[in-house]
């Protein structure tokens, strides 16, 4: 299901069932020639902490465990699977000056 949704969204760099997320994060950074501070990472559980602590913009979903919320730069109002990703995308676009309040219809998210 995740792979199918990612394909619909044009996302081709997908990792699933990863136990060592820090290692996968490092591999993705290297492959894409990115620095950790250029990355937004969103998590909800303890396994996400090593990456959240390295990402430039660490986000916890509303229903994340307390430790993840404490490590995050920002916590969404929406729980995971209930609009949290859209919330983060809108925040990033607004902070980049690419979107203003009420502009959601200008930037339609597939399936959103």
3-state secondary structure of 69: helix
How many other C-beta atoms lie within 10 A of the C-beta of residue 105? 6
Q: Which residues of the chain have pLDDT under 70?
A: 98-112
Give the pLDDT of residue 91: 85
Would you say 78 and 95 are in contact if contact means Cβ atoms under 8 Å apart?
no
Give the pLDDT of residue 50: 94
* Cα–Cα dist 44/64, whole Å: 4
Give the pLDDT of residue 97: 72
Global pTM value: 0.77
93-103 pLDDT, tens digit per residue, is: 887 776 666 55
Give the pLDDT of residue 112: 44
Q: What is the DSSP letter of 106?
A: T
């Amino acid at each position: 299901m995740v792979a199918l949704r990612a394909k619909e969204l044009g996302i081709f760099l997908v990792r699933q069932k990863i136990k060592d997320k820090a290692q996968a994060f490092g591999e993705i950074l290297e492959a894409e020639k990115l620095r950790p501070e250029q990355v937004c990472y969103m998590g909800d559980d303890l396994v996400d902490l090593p990456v959240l602590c390295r990402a430039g913009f660490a986000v916890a979903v509303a229903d994340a465990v307390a430790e993840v919320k404490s490590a995050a730069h920002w916590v969404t109002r929406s729980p995971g699977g209930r609009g949290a990703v859209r919330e983060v995308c809108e925040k990033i676009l607004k902070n980049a000056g690419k979107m203003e309040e009420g502009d959601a219809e200008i930037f339609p998210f597939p399936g959103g």
